[in-house]
Amino acid sequence: MTDRTDGHAEGQGRVYQSQGDQHISEHHHYGGGRPERGGPDSVRRPAVGRPPVVLRDRSEVMERLRASVAAERGGQVYVLYGMGGSGKTAVACALFQEVALQQGRVGLWVNASDRASLRAGMLAVAADRGARDAELLAARNGLRPAADLAWAYLHRSVEPWLLVLDNTDEPEILRDGDWLRTSPRGTVLVTTRRAAARWWPGAELQYIGVLPREDAALVLRDLAPDSGTTEQAARVADRLGRLPLALTLAGGFLSWQVIDPWTMDTYGDRLDGDERVQLIDRGADALSEADPRHLVGLTWQLTLDTFEARRLPEAVALLRLLARFAAEPLPLTLLDHAGIGAVLPRARTETALRALLDQSLSELVDAAGARCVQSHGILLDSVSAATPADLVTTLDTTAVRLLDAAVPGVPDAGPHDPRLRLLVPHALALLGHVGEPSAADALAAATRLAVALHRTGDYLSAWETARNAADLARRHLGADHRAVLAARSRAGRALFRLGRYAEAEAALRAVRDAQGRLFGAGDPDTADSGYGLQLVLANLGRRDESVALLRDTVAARRSALGPAHPLTLRARAGLLETLPAADVAAEEGGSLLTLPSECERVLGPDHTVTLGARHNHAWALYLLGRFDEADREIRQVVEAYERRFGPEYPVVLAARQLLSRTRAALGHVDEGIALMTEVVERRERGLGPEHPFTVASRRLLDAHRSGGRRP
């Protein structure tokens, strides 16, 4: 690495390698105020709605768990396993509340149902235990291992803790990054349907089964005390297989009857007379005919029949719509959209939701600072399986329209937004449900969500979302569909940002070749993949290929989109940074050096592309030896970046690094040293002392101190 190590950021977030020099040359897509940490509220409370009125028949389990989190003990992993709906989360929630209220331990609750939720939750744990914004940002960017960061702060926690990993029904995701560890500072409690010992080495497993007859009857009596005697409740409980989820649904139904209340006996008779609904419990073992999970479907069907009889068909329609999404917190704002009118009147959404809440079919939860609705996965699977075929297309179309409206229409640079991650499981669930008519639209929304995640620095979630979405949609659309190729291109871009250059090159080259063959070399999608590919080639040291491809991208975008389109201007700004100084002045007949003014006139002074063009322009001026001009411009860019991003963000540090160069070049060496000292300190905190960015910054600092100017 030579002395041209800068840390500049422009475009889409890369580290540019030119003649052995490392040069960060692309925006990291953050902005819009100070960073949001997804703070303690996201993990200090269980991500569940109403806990059970009384936790029945779990006294032995609770005693064992209480002993495990005693103040003088730590380092254990306990696994609660059992069939869906058996009450594992209820046990974990009860322990969590006791720990937080009575034992002086910190309770930390993480939804581990998918990779994105697990990673976001564990980074929120790290933030709660003291991790700094720069460290969290680097972990989201893929610049440091997220699991290592989270566990480092759990190990050094002053307060003892209980960490709950809820809904860990895909335990293989825990191994991807080594998320499940132990620490003497706390106890880990896992809930799962997967009990194979190979997933939980060294852990103590505890089975959570159905309730004894007496306790099952008491659950019904807790929820509907006026509906019958304990013996009548016991007979209903037997009919429901004593499964806590089925009991909760039945109790909610019975407690809701006002005008013509049902008795326990009436309810039991209706159960015996209706066998229409069967349950699909995805991800669990095959069901036997006697398995009590079959009865969950029958339980909610009785409730839906009552909704229809009482002229509340909107509640039925809303539950069927919710069943198109995932069994994860769904932001309520997604339902507050005119597009819901195809399934139920928008004005009746509130009434329908209240009916579901009253019947315990759904619950309100807070997640990532957003009010959400959530239903049990078994219930949603059962509802989905029983939805009449003639309603499916309308439900799919409406669900896709609601998701599409919830994703930013034109994703731009912004701060980390944990609410975006909430949409990921729902986008993927939709792609798993929808048929061919809605698949392309659903994939387009999922891909745009991946872009939004990418541009807030959550590159891992962006990659996983785009990759999984393309795989799910391929079965309907085929590998060569435009939307599938666009999703794979976005996945390649995220791989690049994660530093996986060889994989990114292979993915982007394959996609670009296919797009060129199918749509033409000048197609906007082909140009987008070409833009991403040239970033990778630059980082692999293949400068000539990168520059040639970037010029092709500029030409294609200018032809297809017009000279004033933001993507065209962004590609041209890339030329400002990548070309040698001697070529910059001659490029485009000399007009390239006026690009910032053009961007400001077309897009405005605060647009992301405008700021990136000015940043690159300052770099070009520096290389041309026009230090006064470069210094004035980069100082203004630093001020704009700091207002937008805060002091820790990579693009801010890159700009301050360039400012240190211009100050030193103008003879203000002490000021240059002070600027670089701060950059090095911040990069060491965020990335560690051995990261290439930190090493490059430290070398520039050493050069300033030795009195030399690094060109």
Q: How far apart are CA 653 and CA 701, in angstroms?
A: 13
Q: What is the pLDDT of residues 124-146, one digit of tens each?
A: 999 999 999 889 988 988 888 99
Q: How far apart are CA 677 and CA 124, in angstroms?
A: 29
pTM: 0.82
**Cβ distance 123 to 149 under 8 Å?**
yes
137 compared with 413, residue with greater pLDDT: 137
pLDDT band at 274 (very low <50, low <70, confident <90, very high): very low
Q: Is residue 348 part of a domain?
A: no
- What are 573's two structure tokens? 């700004």
Surface-to-core class of residue 635, CB atoms within 10 Å of its CB (0-12 exposed, 13-18 middle, 19+ buried): middle
What pLDDT score was predicted for residue 40? 41
Question: Are residues 198 and 254 located together in one domain of the fold?
Answer: no
CA-closest candidate to residue 377, choices 94, 92, 166: 166
What pLDDT score was predicted for residue 124? 93
Q: How far apart are CA 47 and CA 370, in angstroms?
A: 11
- What is the rounded (10 degree) CA torsion for 490, 494, 497, 498? -160
Q: Which residues contact 158 (CB under 8 A, 6 or more apart)?
A: none
The DSSP-derived string for 486-502 is HHHHHHHHHHHHTT-HH
Q: What is the pLDDT of residues 276-298, one digit of tens each?
A: 333 333 333 343 444 444 556 66
Question: Are residues 219 and 201 located together in one domain of the fold?
Answer: no
CA-closest candidate to residue 665, choices 607, 696, 633, 622: 622
How many distinct structural domains can be found in the chain? 3
Question: Are residues 170 and 229 located together in one domain of the fold?
Answer: no
Question: Are residues 81 and 154 located together in one domain of the fold?
Answer: yes
pLDDT band at 211 (very low <50, low <70, confident <90, very high): confident
Of 207, 234, 249, which residue constitutes the final position of a domain?
A: 207
Q: What is the pLDDT of residues 663-701, one digit of tens each?
A: 999 999 999 999 999 999 998 888 888 877 888 899 999
Give the CATH number for residue 670: 1.25.40.10
What pLDDT score was predicted for residue 123? 94
What pLDDT score was predicted for residue 2? 29
What pLDDT score was predicted for residue 656? 96
Q: Token match 């995805």: residue?
A: 282
pLDDT band at 225 (very low <50, low <70, confident <90, very high): confident
Q: How far apart are CA 76 and CA 28, in angstroms?
A: 39
Q: Give the domain extent around 632.
A: 15-30+593-705
**Cβ distance 141 to 420 under 8 Å?**
no
Question: Are residues 19 and 90 located together in one domain of the fold?
Answer: no
What pLDDT score was predicted for residue 275? 41
Of 178, 207, 236, which residue constitutes the final position of a domain?
A: 207
Q: Is residue 513 part of a domain?
A: no
Q: What percentage of the chain exceeds 70 in pLDDT?
A: 86
Rounded to 10 deg, the angle between the 264-272 and 230-239 helix axes is 20
Q: What percentage of the chain exceeds 90 in pLDDT?
A: 51
Q: Which residues contact 538 (CB under 8 A, 6 or more apart)?
A: 14, 16, 17, 18, 25, 546, 578
Least confident stretch, 244-253, 290-299, 396-405? 290-299
Least confident stretch, 50-64, 332-346, 450-464? 50-64
Rounded to 5°, the CA angle 300-302-307 comes to: 95
**Cβ distance 536 to 526 under 8 Å?**
no
Question: Are residues 261 and 176 located together in one domain of the fold?
Answer: no
What pLDDT score was predicted for residue 296? 62
**What average pLDDT does the segment 272-278 reach?**
45
b/e for 225-241, b at 16 or more Cβ within 10 A? eebbeeebbbbbbebbb
Residues 345, 349, 355, 360, CA torsion sign? positive
The DSSP-derived string for 371-406 is EEEE--HHHHHHHHHHS-HHHHHHHHHHHHHHHHHH
**Cβ distance 424 to 451 under 8 Å?**
no
In angstroms, the first-to-last Cα distance of the chain is 13
What pLDDT score was predicted for residue 21? 31
Q: What is the pLDDT of residues 5-53, one digit of tens each?
A: 333 333 333 333 322 233 333 333 333 333 344 344 468 888 776 666 5
**Cβ distance 34 to 646 under 8 Å?**
yes
Name the β-bridge partners of 590.
none
Q: Which residues contact 60 (CB under 8 A, 6 or more apart)?
A: none
How many Cβ atoms from other residues are within 10 Å of residue 196's Cβ? 10
148 compared with 312, residue with greater pLDDT: 148
What pLDDT score was predicted for residue 165? 95
Question: Are residues 627 and 683 located together in one domain of the fold?
Answer: yes
Which phi and psi (to 5°) does residue 17 adopt? -110, 115
Phi-psi region of 637 (alpha: psi -120 to 50; beta: other; left: phi over 0): alpha
Q: How far apart are CA 329 and CA 374, in angstroms?
A: 5
Q: Is residue 156 part of a domain?
A: yes
Question: Are residues 123 and 245 located together in one domain of the fold?
Answer: no
What pLDDT score was predicted for residue 369? 82
What pLDDT score was predicted for residue 86? 83
CA-closest candidate to residue 421, choices 483, 380, 378, 464: 464
Q: Is residue 665 part of a domain?
A: yes
What pLDDT score was predicted for residue 73? 67
Question: Are residues 304 and 194 located together in one domain of the fold?
Answer: no
**Cβ distance 529 to 495 under 8 Å?**
no
Q: Is residue 652 part of a domain?
A: yes
649 CB-side CA count, 13 A: 32
Q: Token match 């806990």: residue?
A: 51
Q: What is the pLDDT of residues 158-171, one digit of tens each?
A: 999 999 999 999 99
What pLDDT score was predicted for residue 708? 57
What pLDDT score was predicted for residue 47? 77
The DSSP-derived string for 279-345 is ---TTSPPPPTT-TTHHHHHHHHHHHHHHHHTT-HHHHHHHHHHTTS-SS-EEGGGTSSGGGGGTS-
Cα 665 vs. chain centroid, distance in angstroms? Answer: 43
Question: Are residues 159 and 221 located together in one domain of the fold?
Answer: no
348 compared with 195, residue with greater pLDDT: 348
DSSP 262: P
Average of per-residue pLDDT values in the chain: 84
Q: Is residue 3 part of a domain?
A: no
Of 263, 296, 311, which residue constitutes the final position of a domain?
A: 311
Least confident stretch, 235-249, 398-412, 502-516, 517-531? 235-249
Question: Are residues 244 and 129 located together in one domain of the fold?
Answer: no
- What are 285's two structure tokens? 């073992």
Give the CATH number for residue 46: 3.40.50.300
Q: How far apart are CA 224 and CA 345, in angstroms?
A: 31
Q: Which residues contact 489 (CB under 8 A, 6 or more apart)?
A: 507, 508, 511, 512, 515, 525, 528, 529, 532
What pLDDT score was predicted for residue 649? 81
Q: Is residue 555 part of a domain?
A: no
What pLDDT score was predicted for residue 54? 62
Q: Is residue 392 part of a domain?
A: no
Question: Are residues 613 and 682 located together in one domain of the fold?
Answer: yes
Q: Is the pLDDT of residue 602 over 70?
A: yes
Q: How far apart are CA 210 and CA 383, in angstroms?
A: 22
